[in-house]
Amino acid sequence: MLIGKSPKIPTSEIISETTYLNRRKFLGQSTALIAGSSLLGSANAGLQPDDEITPEDIVTQFNNFYEFGTDKSDPYENAHTLTTDPWTVTVSGAAKKTGEFAFEDIIKGMTAEERIYRFRCVEAWSMVVPWMGIELKKILEQFEPTGDAKYVEFKTLVRPEEMPGQRSFFSSIDWPYVEGLRMDEAYNPLSIMVTGLFGKELPNQNGAPWRLMVPWKYGFKSVKSIVSIHFTDKQPLNTWQQLQASEYGFYANVNPAVSHPRWSQASERRLPSTLFNTNRRPTLPFNGYAEEVAHLYKGMDLKKFY
């Protein structure tokens, strides 16, 4: 859901590609669109007038997924090698139900619902993406986390024979890719596990068969192709924090007031953009979701806990 003061138009059904294309035309003429509003009760959530859905070819061909290479086009070009069936997820740590689970068993009986979210990269570019996803809380609750579960840690698949970036001599990442959330962040209704986009199965290059999506945080928090869920009482050391803690913190909340050490975060380049039309716009605190999530960080120094 995207935050804005706009009329509510419920769209909780899974939507076809044709409908999405029609919606993109509609967005150019309308002031707002509400997606899956029932998931946030009475909260008003909608696109801003200029928040048109990013074209599908950009969403699927402009990615950071270093397991397949460091160029933005590498995931699209290389991810066809990834095998996603069968897919097994290991659940461990402070929960009553742990072990190895088939992906299809984890999501059995759950229906992916439409979520149109702003997506903000720490590199200062952004998109608006129509994801299909399941609330993360629903996924995690079935494992019955105990009171010791203060955080949840996720890890990406390690399969260098299918992921050329993992076998690159120049890679500085200590695979697997690791990310984590506090449990209250994970249980926020905006947090979802994505299984599709544009009404289709999630493409390999976007993190098939499922990935995390936490729309008020920079994109590197939304770990892809997850094979491990671990409940813990300790804050996980996420990959980018491990690589360069002075630049990438654990929380990674979108904050225009806190610059990256090498560039400002006060504005962003909304894709598509060109040399002559950079399509820049101000960055919103918490990526526009402050009404939904700011309470999670009450009393915290967000410059210290960046």
Residue 241 lies in a domain: yes
User: What are the pLDDT digits (tens) for 157-199?
Assistant: 999 999 999 999 889 999 999 999 999 999 999 999 999 999 9
Q: What is the CATH number of the domain that holds 84?
A: 3.90.420.10
Residue 9 lies in a domain: no
Domain count within the chain: 1
Residue 11 lies in a domain: no
Share of the chain above pLDDT 70, in %: 85
Number of Cβ atoms within 10 Å of the Cβ of 158: 15
- Give the pTM: 0.86
Residue 305 lies in a domain: no
How far is Cα 6 from Cα 267, in angstroms, rounded to an integer? 23
Question: Which residue range is the domain that position 194 belongs to?
Answer: 17-297
Residue 284 lies in a domain: yes
Residue 2 lies in a domain: no
How far is Cα 28 from Cα 39, in angstroms, rounded to an integer? 25
Query: Which pair of structure tokens corresponds to residue 40?
Result: 């946030």
Confidence of residue 47 (pLDDT cuts 50, 70, 90): low
How far is Cα 199 from Cα 175, in angstroms, rounded to an integer? 31
Nearest 5°: CA angle at 60, between 165 and 200? 120
Residue 37 lies in a domain: yes
Nearest 5°: CA angle at 81, between 80 and 86? 100
Confidence of residue 48 (pLDDT cuts 50, 70, 90): confident
How far is Cα 153 from Cα 64, in angstroms, rounded to an integer? 20
